Structure 1
């Protein structure tokens, strides 16, 4: 789940890190409830920071799974989008939360973080200290009502404040 939450694009489970003891135990327990050895999860983000996953899974070999995901990727993304639209219809009068606008430097920092730069790389790219970068990130987090930096990036993306 964490591996999918940290991404904005569909995730083939083969690309996730299953090496930790906790991850292996989780996967083993899930298998006892019928979870397959192959999976494909699509993160879905709502206009107010909501998060969900649309996931398909099965038990098959890698070659068969690769063929399935390659030939059905577009349809799976469309299905996930459709489910998200239907879920949002449960609260038809709810409008996206209004947020304060981000400063140009906050936008720059959030954008570089969103495309995968480390804090050190962002600071170097913007020609600022990491301390100054922390100030920009904390300010953006506050304005976006985010719990952490990843959440702030997700909210900025979902609200169209940054584009990657």
Structure 2
């Protein structure tokens, strides 16, 4: 590890505010000559925080269009526990391909790696880096630097968790078998209609079970409920 990289980690460990963490995200981007660095966490209480180097125009566009519903990076991050090379994800649907083209046109970068992070208290976080290099150079980059980026993801999550003091948990929560079923099917990537059909219940009844589970988990929305249930071992996708 170079002295300069050690200094970046030391800066992160000494961060006292979430604004300090934003500065470290920019330092990581510059050190590795990346296009962007993004860290986003949803705490067990529903509180969110993000440190990112994306243009705000793209962030607003992503939120307004609810791209979280079709973004393969998000879908796979809910299912997996290991780093994701964006090139290995399923971009075959028309919606995903159009989303990818728009993201690249907005300067996100054609390459990316994301690290899903699940905290013991129900936090769900995602650390991502992007680049505009070609496939061969990206593979070379990952071979050389993926270990350091894994360290970065865990260091950043640990420090943000400490700053947010997000230590709530869902210990003692008991989901009914059907509540576990609906959340498990959503975690596997199925739509509400597909999941309801699989369970042979109406979409209205499906929503009732989802709302009941969300209330028990203290989740602000369905995605948060799935994340908390996964993080606490209440369901398996």
Q: Scaled by the length of structure 1, what TM-score is found? A: 0.69
Question: Which one of the candidate residues 82, 86, 97 is aligned to 2:169?
Answer: 97
1:141 partnered with 2:214: yes
Please give the per-residue CA displacement for 1:3-26, whole angstroms capped at 9, x wherever unaligned: 3444334443455647359x83x6
Structure 1 residues 129 and 53: alpha-carbon distance in aligned structure 2, compared to 1, 3 A threshold: closer
Tell whether the 8 Å contact from 1:5 to 1:43 is kept in structure 2 after alignment: no
Deviates most, 117-126 or 10-19: 10-19
> 2: CA distance between counterparts of 1:62 and 1:122?
36
Please give the per-residue CA displacement for 1:42-63, whole angstroms capped at 9, x wherever unaligned: 2323334434332233342112
The structure, 1 or 2, with the larger RCO (C-alpha pairs under 8 Å, 6+ apart) is 2
Distance apart, 1:107 and its partner CA: 0.7
Matches within 5 A, 1:1-16: 2=68, 3=71, 4-6=73-75, 7-8=77-78, 9=80, 10-14=83-87, 15=89
Structure 1 residues 75 and 126: alpha-carbon distance in aligned structure 2, compared to 1, 3 A threshold: farther
Aligned to 1:132: 205
Tell whether the 8 Å contact from 1:140 to 1:152 is kept in structure 2 after alignment: yes
Question: Which one of the candidate residues 133, 140, 160 is aligned to 1:60?
Answer: 133
Tell whether the 8 Å contact from 2:183 to 2:226 is kept in structure 1 after alignment: yes
What's the Cα RMSD here?
A: 3.4
Structure 1 residues 118 and 91: alpha-carbon distance in aligned structure 2, compared to 1, 3 A threshold: closer
Unaligned runs of 5+ in 2: 1-61, 63-67
1:112 partnered with 2:185: yes
Question: Which one of the candidate residues 98, 101, 117 is aligned to 1:19?
Answer: 98
Unaligned runs of 5+ in 1: none
Q: Scaled by the length of structure 2, what TM-score is found? A: 0.52
Distance apart, 1:129 and its partner CA: 2.1
Residue-pair matches, total: 157
> 2: CA distance between counterparts of 1:71 and 1:126?
46
